[in-house]
Amino acid sequence: MIRIFPSFRFTSLLSAAKPFCSVACSSSPAREPPPNLPYPEVKSITVSKTPKTPLFLRTPSHVTPLSEVWKWHDWAKDLASSVESSSTKSNDSLESVTLLRELKWLIEDTIVDDPLSILHKKEIEDDDKKKSVKLRASLEELYDLWKQRIENRRPFQYVVGCEHWRDLVLCVEEGVLIPRPETELIVDMVEELVSRDDWFKKGIWADLGTGSGAIAIGVAKVLGSRGKVVATDLSPVAIVVASHNVQRYSLEGMIEVREGSWFEPLKGLEGKLVGIVSNPPYIPSDDIPGLQAEVGRHEPKLALDGGIDGTDSLIHLCHGASRMLKRGGFFIFETNGEKQSKMIVDYMTNDLKHCFSDLKIVSDFAGIDRFVTGFRR
Ligand SMILES: C[S@@+](CC[C@H](N)C(=O)[O-])C[C@H]1O[C@@H](n2cnc3c(N)ncnc32)[C@H](O)[C@@H]1O
């Protein structure tokens, strides 16, 4: 079951072959970033060694009268329909149509045995009244979860504990960024590259700031059996969740999850990586308070805040890529789009002279200049 349908898929991207060049890299940055950024503060959040089990994977141990489920469903629909009339229209209001779609998904994840056909009847019949259904959460929890979604603006993905991303269903919880559809393009670009050049399938890749492990898992799958990905994150919650997702896809042999700041857990791999992918925090600090409630109130600041102009981590990654990539190695960095992508290309061209070649800006599904890609000379 796929829940997000990107409007189109990327078909051809990397037209240039893997270039090799003997020009030495001269790094003389005018705007010298610290080689190791100071550790950002990690908001205190209880870290458990095992992530929360998403609703759809729970045992259906709650046998409940259908009439009670029916009542809950009516209440949930009414609450969803009431939000638009009660909200003063702003950019940050909830939409009933979105909530009703989410309610359908919540039911699919919770109720065993063809739940929708029962709940979509106009009226409950006498026969149905005697029926019971098996649920993966108690009714009490379902009332609470739906209130959290609407009244606290808790993201739907945290409510159900998972996100459908590319061909994966990834566990997510508070403390870990919910992977976004546009980030799927990073895996598509890697797939395109490795389909044309086997060299990239044999070497080591790094996914920096792995979060739920989405990119690392996607890349490992397209690399095939010889692939090797090291996934790093500073957030202990991300490390637990990414490790769990890696296990769920039986990719422990291909993906190693390491805790630490950016390249720090990659000591010993200098000049040895064939690829680096990263979707770092890139939102300018001043924009954080204006984010949609679901994002600003619930997603981790560590995953969002990119410093004054949003490029602190990106600049750090540019320097790291010059040290860590093999000659001919490839990188993709996701950015906030437009101005930021251009800034990163300018920085790599002018301040990290001769380190990279074939620098490109690649748009996302919405036509926003979202990614910077290139090769290590
Ligand atoms: C925008 S999120 C991306 C998560 C995931 N890669 C994705 O695309 O869904 C940025 C990630 O970078 C991590 N991060 C922030 N600062 C870091 C640092 N200094 N070292 C390593 N990871 C860091 C955050 O914890 C977060 O998981």
* Among the listed residues 236, 230, 218, 233, the one whose alpha carbon sits nearest the alpha carbon of residue 254: 230
Atom of ligand 1 nearest to the CA of 37: 19
Cα separation, 73 vs 76, in Å, equals 5
277 lines ligand 1 (CB under 6 A): no
The pLDDT value given to residue 105: 95
CB burial of 338-364 (b: ≥16 within 10 Å; e: otherwise) equals eebbebbbebbeebbeebbbbebbbbb
Residue to substitute in 171, 235, 240, 298 for testing ligand 1 pocket (most ligand atoms within 8 angstroms of CB): 235
Distance from the first to the final alpha carbon of the chain: 42
**Does the model's pTM come out above 0.85?**
yes
336 lines ligand 1 (CB under 6 A): no
- Kindly list the structural domains of the chain, giving each domain's residue range(s) and its CATH number in brackets, ordered by start: 55-160 (no CATH), 175-376 (3.40.50.150)
92 pLDDT band (50/70/90 cuts)? Answer: confident
pLDDT tens digit sequence for 239-289: 999 999 999 999 999 999 999 999 999 999 999 999 999 999 999 999 999
Nearest CA to ligand 1 atom 14: 209
Cα 309 from chain centroid (whole Å): 22
* Among the listed residues 150, 33, 51, the one whose alpha carbon sits nearest the alpha carbon of residue 96: 150
179 lines ligand 1 (CB under 6 A): yes
The pLDDT value given to residue 201: 96
Tokens of 124: 């409950």
Tokens of 102: 């989410």
pLDDT tens digit sequence for 55-89: 999 999 999 998 899 899 999 999 999 987 655 55
217 lines ligand 1 (CB under 6 A): no
What is the whole-number distance in angstroms between the Cα of residue 75 and the centre of ligand 1?
38
238 lines ligand 1 (CB under 6 A): yes
Mean pLDDT calculated for residue range 286-315: 97
